């Protein structure tokens, strides 16, 4: 196998890079949920991770904020509905197309054995869910690389490229621009700007150039999940996206 021909140091470096990317995606996913924990306390840990990755030059520079202030800011920025956080609110022409995108997202999740449901429920197109899925794929890639499994690495890398091309990479730009228009954004405007830079850099690393969706015409999407499903993929601090193959 190709991996067997690589020096051990190169293999471990590949695993380390994938693991570091997984850490950043996990941080971002948690930060875009309603804050039960104070994610700004983790910001000082990011520079060392980003330096190891050498993927982006931009840094997320924020002071630690009181949790109550962060929660109030989240409510101010995203409101009760939080339409800005959903992929299918951006530039899709009609409800049928939105349904197609939701089905495609669920297809990605199920292809990697992630079931629906969990303690925190969100739609498949919520930003935190998509970021968690990228975390899961990068973590799988890290495990495959550390074990010298070339096929597993390729499958995970290809999946990340396709997911960024078809979904997450398409709407990070309009998402960040939409938040920048909010005068009360503060920490979340900076967070969105950093997330956009990181996701776009990761897409470029994988050689994909996602088509950019437009922020015009943001609207609520009627969401009526399959009645056989108890909920949407998990986006929270428990196992990423959802439980895999019925196991924790």
pLDDT at 163 over 80: yes
In the DSSP assignment, the letter for residue 166 is: I
Entry pTM: 0.82
- pLDDT category at 156 given cuts 50, 70, 90 is very high
- Topology of the domain covering 2-205: TorD-like (1.10.3480)
What pLDDT digit, counting tens, does each position of 98-119 carry? 888 899 999 999 998 887 666 6
Given a cut of 60, whether residue 12 has pLDDT beyond it is no
**Structural domain spans, the chain:** 2-205
Assign 80 a pLDDT band (cuts: 50, 70, 90). Answer: low
Reported as type and span, the H/E element at residue 6 is none
Task: Please say whether the beta carbons of 223 and 188 come within 8 A.
Answer: no
Evaluate if residue 241 carries a pLDDT over 80.
Answer: no
Q: CA–CA separation, 24 vs 47, rounded Å? A: 10
Mean pLDDT of the chain: 81
Of residues 191 and 233, the one with the higher pLDDT is 191
In the predicted model, what is the mean pLDDT of residues 130-139? 96
Tell me the CA distances in angstroms from 241 to 104, 112, 118, 135, one per residue in order: 15, 11, 9, 9
Give the pLDDT score at 226: 43
Instruction: Return the ∠ at Cα 136 (arms to 207 and 55), rounded to 5°.
Output: 40
Please give the structure tokens belonging to residue 4: 């067997």
Tally of residues, the chain: 248
């Amino acid at each position: 196998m190709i991996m067997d021909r690589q020096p051990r140091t190169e293999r471990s470096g590949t695993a380390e890079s994938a693991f570091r990317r997984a850490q950043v995606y996990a941080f971002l996913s948690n930060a875009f949920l309603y804050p039960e924990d104070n994610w700004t306390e983790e910001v000082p840990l990011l520079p060392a991770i980003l330096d190891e990755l050498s993927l982006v030059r931009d840094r997320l520079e924020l002071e630690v904020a009181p949790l109550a202030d962060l929660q109030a800011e989240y409510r101010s920025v995203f409101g009760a509905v939080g339409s800005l956080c959903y992929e299918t609110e951006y530039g899709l022409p009609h409800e049928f197309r939105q349904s197609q995108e939701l089905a495609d997202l669920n297809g990605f999740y199920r292809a990697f054995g992630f079931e629906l449901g969990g303690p925190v429920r969100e739609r498949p197109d919520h930003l935190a869910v998509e970021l968690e899925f990228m975390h899961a794929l990068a973590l799988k890639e890290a495990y495959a690389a550390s074990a010298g499994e070339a096929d597993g690495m390729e499958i995970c890398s290809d999946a990340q490229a396709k997911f960024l091309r078809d979904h997450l990479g398409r709407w990070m730009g309009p998402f960040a621009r939409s938040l920048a228009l909010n005068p009360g954004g503060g920490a979340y405007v900076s967070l969105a700007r950093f997330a956009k830079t990181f996701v776009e850099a990761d897409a470029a690393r994988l050689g994909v150039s996602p088509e950019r969706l437009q922020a015009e015409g943001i609207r609520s999407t009627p969401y009526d999940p399959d009645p056989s499903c108890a909920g949407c993929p998990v986006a929270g601090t428990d196992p990423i996206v959802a439980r895999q193959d019925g196991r924790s």
